[in-house]
Amino acid sequence: MACRDISFTVQDGEIFGLLGPNGAGKTTTLRIIATILRATTGNAKLDDIDIFSEPDKARSLMGFLSSNTGLYDRLTPAEILHYFGRLCGMSEAEVKARSLQLAQSLDFEKYLHARCAGLSQGTRQKVSIARAIVHNPRLMILDEPSTGLDVLATQSMHDFILQAKAQGKAILLSTHSMDEAEKLCDRIGVINDGKLLAVGTIDELKATTGKASLEAAFVNLVRN
């Protein structure tokens, strides 16, 4: 999906959601910001860092959860977090302490030393988030983080994201769930066909469209 004329900001301590149907361009936008895809035009900055001219510097300050990144089935969550933590330049002691903290916060501590092949989808997703942010980045980029999760796992995921917000993290997430967007997002960008249709709080999007619910506002923006 080609993306055109997309512009928004994400502040510290803010959850900014990209809301759109499947194939709208959400994942492409996130992958460009995460420096996985190269943009043909435009720019993006993390503080004063141009992420396209200084990608390595930018990556050290961000963590990206992809919607389709798998885990190494023969490794344990502890081994995966150790590997990626060390790749990010963390010391052995830092990795150990951070891994335990994330396992406790995301509620997979009892599976920390179990092989990933035997973990449930919900636990695997929690490990994937921990891997993406093991280095404690300022910017968390989450591509549909609750996809495929049951109610309890989704609740645990949402609680963790809200805790990260309270800690001052800037959080950019994509979703096609109205409930998730309403529960988590301070501001929302509605995207479709690679274009950003509107940006605002839920109340602002309702006012712009004259609709009483986020779902009705979303449908109005996407269809018009």
Judged against a pLDDT cut of 80, whether residue 67 lies above it is answered with no
Both structure tokens of 125: 């997703």
Give the SS3 label for residue 119: coil
**Cα→Cα distances 65→42, 92, 93, 120, 195, Å:** 23, 23, 24, 18, 22
**Residues 174, 24: contact at Cβ < 8 Å?**
no
**Residue 127 carries which side chain, given as an amino acid letter?**
V
Region 136-164: what's the mean pLDDT? 90
Q: Is the pTM of this model over 0.75?
A: yes
Q: Residue 197: CB partners within 8 Å, gap ≥ 6? A: 190, 191, 221, 222
Residue type, 216: A
Specify which residues 64 forms β-bridges with.
141
Q: What are the pLDDT digits (tens) for 105-133?
A: 998 999 999 999 999 988 999 999 999 99
Kindly report the CATH number that applies to the domain delimited by 1-61+137-224.
3.40.50.300
CA distance linking residue 155 with residue 132, whole number of Å: 19
Token pair, residue 94, equals 């830092």
